[in-house]
Chains A and B, each alone.
Chain A
């Protein structure tokens, strides 16, 4: 039995204060993602913010980000992720944590 997981349904329950058009994480160089064999960010991110795109590179959408830091850790060899906290008051806002 394989269970299909819809990550959107999980993230939908969370409270986010989105900082429009100011993503706190950025991919530095698209070409580095293209040549990255593992693209581990696409598997490890618990909010599925990273997806492999049709050009063979990686697309990042930070709106569902849980600010855990995993992507930065898995990409540290390539140093291709610019990782910051969102501005004060923005981003995930856990009701329960």
Chain B
């Protein structure tokens, strides 16, 4: 006989874990399937974890969650060829009892979260790839088929938390293939280093952390960003650009990463560190307009698989956890009301998303991905002119300040023209308003 569960969750990343935990905690009979050797084996994140959404799911997570450093300083750097111009915000107020942001090592968090799911009574099976959704004659999803022998399992509802590739939804016809301009490819390395060196180089004590978000010449004019994060005993460094740009740019991603590591501003920060892993992952960056159908008869899709990622604010895992929780809460409410898991009833999940920061934020920035894609000057011309301006301004020589101002202004106009500059300003304001 085919085994049947209240719910099947596919994938053990932040969205799947949030869903599985919420369901198990309410006593539902939940099965979570993960294709990796262990939870986290297939997952990649920068990574910064925002506390608020995890706190909603596991209020006392700080007691044993294996976070790395809490972030007391955020730097945003625009890199030129051999320089940077940037802004830093550091506050001792971030040293609170309940910090808001942590750097994390993803595999550690996923293992910890999975343990919580098992403690709550959820059944988790690893090393199992779901190969297809099983649908009845009416098209309703009634279960999944896996690559294990006799691997057919049924459930009232299937929650797809299978990540950015979302193969199941695409194969079933629920989603189109990702457009190259709507998805970034990021590569990163973890570099192990003496914690004392981290503290010295970044001016930190104990478990304080710094994160640096980077734009500029390192993405070679492509739409993309880079980052450098401090963990307890390691640094993570990465860079990502839109796949449409990689496709045209003829620069391999690992070459771009290597150039970043050798940039004169970055190199001294990572000097002497030992690389222990190289990872690559796609990031859904199409925003609001790229969000697919989110529910149907017997199914919902959450996290990266639902394209929930706020590229402008570098938020992803919090949208993932929130959407996983909302999908689970929808299941719980329908179950309690004794209602069927059809599309009409599962629309309640979409309503929750619409009423939350997830869809509100994505909607706010709905035009940003298109504007960035079509206006490469933000990634090429501007970093150059800005750093050159700073260089001129901070070089004390015999040129009078008024002449310097004129020269700087001229350099901007030369690159973009007055109308170009005004137009870019309007575009940016429109995109983020």
Inter-subunit contact B276/A44 (CB<8 Å): no
B185 within 8 A of A: yes
Contact pick for A44, options B177, B185, B258, CB 8 Å: B185
Report Cα–Cα, A37/B183, bound state, in Å. Answer: 22
Report Cα–Cα, A3/B375, bound state, in Å. Answer: 29
Inter-subunit contact A13/B279 (CB<8 Å): no
Report Cα–Cα, A10/B177, bound state, in Å. Answer: 29
Q: Taking the nearest CB of chain B, how far is it from the CB of A42, in angstroms?
A: 9
Q: Taking the nearest CB of chain A, how far is it from the CB of B244, in angstroms?
A: 9
Q: Taking the nearest CB of chain A, how far is it from the CB of B8, in angstroms?
A: 15
User: Using Cβ atoms and an 8 Å threshold, which residues of chain A touch B178?
Assistant: 69, 73
Q: A10-B278, A88-B129 are in contact. Are A3 and B164 (CB under 8 A)?
A: no
Q: Taking the nearest CB of chain B, how far is it from the CB of A15, in angstroms?
A: 8
In this complex, which of A5, A46, A84 has the most chain B Cβ atoms within 10 angstroms of its Cβ? A46
User: Using Cβ atoms and an 8 Å threshold, which residues of chain A touch B252?
Assistant: 5, 7, 43-46, 48
Q: A43-B251, A85-B129 are in contact. Are A97 and B262 (CB under 8 A)?
A: no
B189 within 8 A of A: yes
Inter-subunit contact B243/A96 (CB<8 Å): no
Closest to B35 in A: A88
Inter-subunit contact B105/A46 (CB<8 Å): no
Q: A44-B185, A96-B276, A97-B105 are in contact. Are A68 and B41 (CB under 8 A)?
A: no
User: Using Cβ atoms and an 8 Å threshold, which residues of chain A touch B44?
Assistant: 94, 97
Interface size class on chain A is: 35 or more
A78 within 8 A of B: no
Binary contact readout A65-97 vs B (1 if CB under 8 angstroms, 0 otherwise):
011111011101000000111111101111111
Inter-subunit contact A95/B243 (CB<8 Å): no
Q: Taking the nearest CB of chain A, how far is it from the CB of B292, in angstroms?
A: 15
A58 within 8 A of B: no
User: Using Cβ atoms and an 8 Å threshold, which residues of chain B touch A29?
Assistant: none
Interface residues of B (CB under 8 A from A): 35-38, 40-45, 105-108, 110, 126-129, 146-148, 164-165, 167, 177-178, 180, 183, 185, 187, 189-190, 234, 243, 246-247, 249-255, 258-259, 262, 275-282
Closest 3 CB pairs of A and B: A89-B127, A46-B280, A97-B106
A-B contact pairs, 8 of them (CB 8 A): A7-B252, A14-B278, A17-B37, A74-B180, A74-B247, A84-B167, A89-B128, A96-B234
